[in-house]
Amino acid sequence: MNRAGLTPCLLSWVVSTLLILIKGDILDRLVSGYMDIDVIIIFIVYLLSYRSETGAGIFAFGQGLLTDIFAGGIWGFHTMLYLMVFLFIRLLSRSFDLLSTFGQVALISMTVLVKGLLMVPLEHLFSLDITVTSSDILLFILSALCSGVIASPVFYLLDSLGRFKNGAKEEL
Amino acid sequence: MLLIFILLFFMSSNQERSGRWNPLEQVVVEITAPFQKVISNTIDATGNIWSKYFHLINTRKENIRLKEEILFLKVENFRHQELIAAYQRLQKVLQSTGKIDQKLVAARVIGKDPSGLFKSIIINKGKSSGLSVNMAVVNEGGVVGKIVSVSKNYSKVLLLIYQNSAVDCLIERSRDFGIVKGLSRDEAVMIMDYVLKSTDIIVGDTLVTSGIGGVFPKGIPVGTITEIKDPTEELFMEVKVAPSVDFSKLEEVLVILMEDPLADR
């Protein structure tokens, strides 16, 4: 990875880590824990589309691990969840044009929705008795759409930052 | 010149004068005084402007300083109000936990579960304050949870409302036993399991810790019975409990310092 690509990657790590630290307080103020704009998934797709596949994998693993550290309950739940999400994105990315806005929005929305639905059997696997109502499904869909919509501006910002750094270096 | 000198000499040495101007002097005064007046007024005016200008500058500086001081005092006042509120909360905690013999460590909640699934909090005390895994955490309401992870300066507390949490309780009035569990999804409702149909229980009964299990000392409030169902085909009653702690407003908690009761299991 060149030095220009390093800045968006670092920014992804920093922003995502900060969001994990404050996410609990934000979720606490929301009606339901299922309403979740998943920034980690947005960053995974960004790293996979514009940077390296290994970097995206490490990012998914690292952020899952970090969530596990700060979350209570079953150790390794989120690490496993985000690795599964990474594999899902990796598989599905072949069917989408990740450099187009539509491709990005569609892939991220689908991934966030699948992650939400994937959590239910996983929770049952870990003996958590979770009941999912129709309003929860609606919240999954809403989270997926919101995550998809904010993905494009995030991608644009990160990419512009990378180009800006690259341009500044070339001028020097 | 000599004549003028002699004249002035006589005028000045005139013993009969008593402060009054002679006609010549009066003429001189009348001619020069207006100029003096103008000069004096000008000097006075200049002096006034100068002093007022500096006074204004000083006033402006004073104004800025006072504004800064007001801002500082306001912030200080907010801080003091916050400290008084925290002190009052902690005083309530200490009053309610007066029956606890063990040492207590006060801690502040600095973070909440990022997953939204598992109910946990992060507190700002760890090993350096004597905390270790499985220590009980309480507040002025009652049982909050227990420590599940600890680092040098921070700890993770699993809340009682997490559905895999359970605490052995007894009904304060009838002294009957049961196990209270969380439901995760709803912070305002817990359930009481293994309540026999013969149990003397009514809505409004208070539940306290039984002390069995060793994590929580006996007699700490857990919740109040809100709903009782008695299904005919079941062995146990279905009992809903409102937690005595408001888990949405956790700010300060107390950790009961005791040796890990589950260490040798």
Q: Between A22, A67, A129, which is nearest B115 by CB?
A: A67
Which residue matches tokens 């040798």? B264
Is the reported ipTM for this assembly greater than 0.90?
A: no
Percent of chain A with pLDDT over 90: 3
Whether B116 sits inside 8 A of A34 (CB atoms) is: yes
pLDDT of residue B8: 52
pLDDT value at B99 more than 80 = no
Domain spans of chain B? 1-12+24-96, 104-256
User: Is B159 close to A24, i.e. CB distance below 8 A?
Assistant: no
Q: Is the pLDDT of residue B216 over 70?
A: yes
pLDDT score for B225: 92
Strand partners, B192: B180, B239
What is the second-level CATH architecture of the domain B104-256? Beta Barrel (2.40)
The closest alpha carbon to B224, from B247, B210, B208, belongs to B208
pLDDT tens-digit readout, B101-149: 678 888 888 888 887 777 888 888 888 888 888 899 988 888 899 998 8
Phi first, then psi: give them for residue B194, nearest 5 degrees. 55, 45
More confident residue, B173 or B6: B173
DSSP code, position A167: H
Using DSSP's 3-state secondary structure scheme, residue B252 falls into: strand
Residue range B143-202, pLDDT digits in tens:
899 998 888 888 889 898 887 788 898 888 888 888 998 876 667 788 888 888 888 888
pLDDT band (50, 70, 90) for residue A118? confident
Tokens coding B212: 């069995």
Q: How many CB pairs under 8 A join A and B?
A: 72
Degrees (nearest 5) of the Cα angle A147, A152, A156?
Answer: 140
Q: Give the pLDDT band (50/70/90) at residue A4.
A: low
Residue B156: list chain A partners with CB under 8 A: 70, 72
Chain B residues at the A interface, defined by Cβ less than 8 Å, are 111-122, 148, 156-159, 162-164, 184-185, 248
**Higher pLDDT, residue B39 or A96:** A96
Which of A31-40, A64-73, B237-246, B251-260 is predicted with the least confidence, judged by mean pLDDT? A31-40
**Is residue A16 predicted with pLDDT exceeding 70?**
yes
- The Cα-based distances of B241 to A136, B97, B204, B206 in angstroms read 24, 21, 9, 9
Q: Which residues of A touch B189 (CB under 8 A)?
A: none
